[in-house]
Amino acid sequence: MTSQDPITGEASRRQHDLGGLELGLIDRHEHPRTLFEMRVDAMLMLLTHPGCAAFKVDALRRAVENYSKLDYENLPYYDRWLKAIRQLLVEQSVLTDAQIEARLQVIRERRAAEGQ
Amino acid sequence: MFTDGMLVRVLDHAIFGHCRTPVYLKGKVGEVVSEAGAWRNPETLAYHKPGLPLRRLYRVRFRQADLWDDYPFPRDTLEADLYEHWLAPADDAAMGDRQ
């Protein structure tokens, strides 16, 4: 028996806690690392390094594990990290959401101008 | 505090925040294999708190047959690292069936 959520009546199981569920075989194929993945990895290493300490990796796990089932299943691994990093930077008042959006807009316009 | 060889039961608390104890171990009985140090508590580190006091971490060995229905290999085991506040001494009644 597992404990029940007092509101939903469901087992208090978060999206990542999959042990024992029937989910088929694990895809063990390797794929080449992408620049995007390495950048996200580097960003997390820098942000959690004691010299920066924007947040702990525990907070990253908490953010990822609290995603909706849809987000958790549809986002690739490093996209989950990136979404969590963005949330935690705002949560910790390192950046505001408006600052992130403004910067994204600059990058989008630059890319459009470069015809990418 | 637990010592090697003690039987412990994983507490079956509801989880309202971040937690490293997997659902499939909750309520199960296993044997302490070793102590794995004392660490800041990930359950509060996850919310930007200091994670103190330190929590002892134990490696606990479970029988796979105690974890899964109709598991066919009685000698197979699984070891998990569990924090002290998720463990309680297993009562004598649990020693018979370890369920």
Q: Which residues does B11 contact at the CB level (< 8 Å), separation at least 6?
A: B26, B27, B85, B86, B87, B88
Residue B16: pLDDT band by 50, 70, 90 thresholds? Answer: confident
Cα separation, B40 vs B18, in Å, equals: 14
Q: Across the interface, which of B18, B26, B48 has its CB nearest the CB of A3?
A: B26
Contact (Cβ atoms closer than 8 angstroms) between residue B13 and residue A1? no
CB contact under 8 A, B14 and A1: no
Provide the chain A residues 46-105 that lie in CB contact (below 8 A) with chain B.
Answer: 55-56, 58-59, 61-62, 65, 91-92
Confidence of residue A7 (pLDDT cuts 50, 70, 90): low
Does the distance separating the beta carbons of A14 and B14 come in below 8 Å?
no
List the beta bridge partners of residue B82: B58
Over residues B76-95, the mean pLDDT reads: 87
Distance CA B48, CA A66 (A): 16
ipTM above 0.90, yes or no: no
CATH tag, B7-97: 2.30.30.50
pTM score, whole prediction: 0.85
Tell me the HSE value of A13 on the side-chain side, using a 13 A CA sphere: 17
- Give yes or no for a contact between A38 and B42, defined as CB atoms under 8 angstroms apart: no
Q: What is the pLDDT of residue B99?
A: 46
pLDDT at A116: 66
